[in-house]
Amino acid sequence: MSISYKKAGVDIYEAEKFVKMISPIVRTTFRKEVLTDIGLFAGLFKLDIRKYKEPVLVSGTDGVGTKLKIAFQADKHDTVGIDLVAMCVNDILTLGAEPLFFLDYFATGKLNAEKASQVIKGIIEGCRQAGCALIGGETAEMPGFYKKNEYDLSGFAVGVINKSDIIHGKAINEGDVIIGVASSGLHSNGFSLVRKVLFDIGKIKIDQYVSELGCSIAEELLKPTEIYVKAYFTLKGKVKIKGMAHITGGGIPGNLPRILPKGKTSVIYKNSWEIHPIFQFIQKIGKITEVEMFKVFNMGIGYIFVVDAQDVKKALSLINNKGYRAYLIGEIVKGKGEIRII
């Protein structure tokens, strides 16, 4: 009896079907700088040196983590792609970079073109929100490596900024204020704890409706990570941005210190913004301390801008008018680089 690649578990025709399905919608993300079409071995992107006189490329890579387990349980795959893009572009944004292009890596045991296309549609939506082009990616079918109906997802973003415009936090000083921009919920961090609390301890079903949340657990947990590119560009050139932080794993205490100069401390006023009900729900079921909650989760703040005190009203107005929810959540004082949440 003869053997084939398909009998070994890899269906080349399903992969070809997948590429044909996604190619037209991938092209909708192309910017004028994209020089190649889908299907080549690599992607080309022309850098506009008229716009950037001293261009510095900025890159970032990430995945979605165990939030994917929620997508598997709920059999809903159209939002995790947005998470993937968000986790990458929000990181490079903290240096002031304009996101240019994105590439993804999708790996599974057995390719299902329909399901995979839903994931890619989410990536495309994320790229649209970030204003970057999806110029390529890789789809890997690896039989026996992943559990049935499961996949892994990762990607990276490349952006650009003029060297003189890099925002690194060195200009942050005493008296500056901290603006927090609301998250959409959990974003893409802390899901190992979330799953332990809700499903193991709370015995909650994935499709269970929770009145405190106003939706099912699946709907709440799969809310995509907010993309903050438009918030940044609405401030750029109008307000002096001294530092930015993407609030991911480690929460505010684990991320804000990364941009603080020596001798500076951040004081965060925890009652200055609205904490989303999902955090209170998790804390109650798991009997988790407030300190631990702030160490693990974003607690309702997904992105931070540090600006001069005289610019705070203008900055808040600009961000809120762009459709985000922004709050004055703290200030910079003299100290040893720690975060004080009071």
Based on the fold, state whether residues 153 and 277 are members of the same structural domain: no
Q: How far, in Å, CA of 305 to CA of 302, rounded?
A: 11
User: Does residue 3 lie within any of the structural domains?
Assistant: no
What are residue 241's phi and psi, to 5 degrees?
-90, 120
Based on the fold, state whether residues 199 and 258 are members of the same structural domain: yes
Q: How far, in Å, CA of 134 to CA of 264, rounded?
A: 39
Residues 61-112 have pLDDT tens digits of 999 999 999 999 999 999 999 999 999 999 999 999 999 999 999 999 999 9
Q: What CATH number is given to the structural domain containing 182? A: 3.90.650.10
Mean pLDDT, 10 residues at a time, the chain of 342 residues = 67 79 89 89 90 94 97 97 98 98 96 94 98 95 92 97 95 97 97 97 97 97 98 97 97 96 95 95 97 97 98 98 98 92 95
Task: Give residue 4's pLDDT.
Answer: 65
Based on the fold, state whether residues 196 and 141 are members of the same structural domain: no
Based on the fold, state whether residues 74 and 218 are members of the same structural domain: no
Domain that residue 226 falls in: 177-341
Based on the fold, state whether residues 24 and 152 are members of the same structural domain: yes
Based on the fold, state whether residues 201 and 115 are members of the same structural domain: no
Based on the fold, state whether residues 194 and 269 are members of the same structural domain: yes
The last residue of one of the domains, among 143, 165, 187, is 165
User: Does residue 170 lie within any of the structural domains?
Assistant: no
pTM score of the predicted model: 0.94
Based on the fold, state whether residues 149 and 190 are members of the same structural domain: no
- The position carrying tokens 């203008």 is 314
- The position carrying tokens 């720690």 is 338
Q: What CATH number is given to the structural domain containing 53? A: 3.30.1330.10
User: Does residue 172 lie within any of the structural domains?
Assistant: no
Q: How far, in Å, CA of 55 to CA of 33, rounded?
A: 15
User: Does residue 210 lie within any of the structural domains?
Assistant: yes
Task: Give residue 41's pLDDT.
Answer: 87
Residues 288-320 have pLDDT tens digits of 999 999 999 999 999 999 999 999 999 999 999
User: Does residue 7 lie within any of the structural domains?
Assistant: no
Task: Give residue 287's pLDDT.
Answer: 97
Based on the fold, state whether residues 48 and 160 are members of the same structural domain: yes
Based on the fold, state whether residues 199 and 225 are members of the same structural domain: yes
User: Does residue 139 lie within any of the structural domains?
Assistant: yes
The last residue of one of the domains, among 139, 165, 191, is 165
- In the chain, the number of structural domains is 2
**Contacts of residue 229, Cβ cutoff 8 Å, sequence gap at least 6:** 89, 90, 93, 99, 129, 130, 131
User: Does residue 328 lie within any of the structural domains?
Assistant: yes
User: Does residue 6 lie within any of the structural domains?
Assistant: no
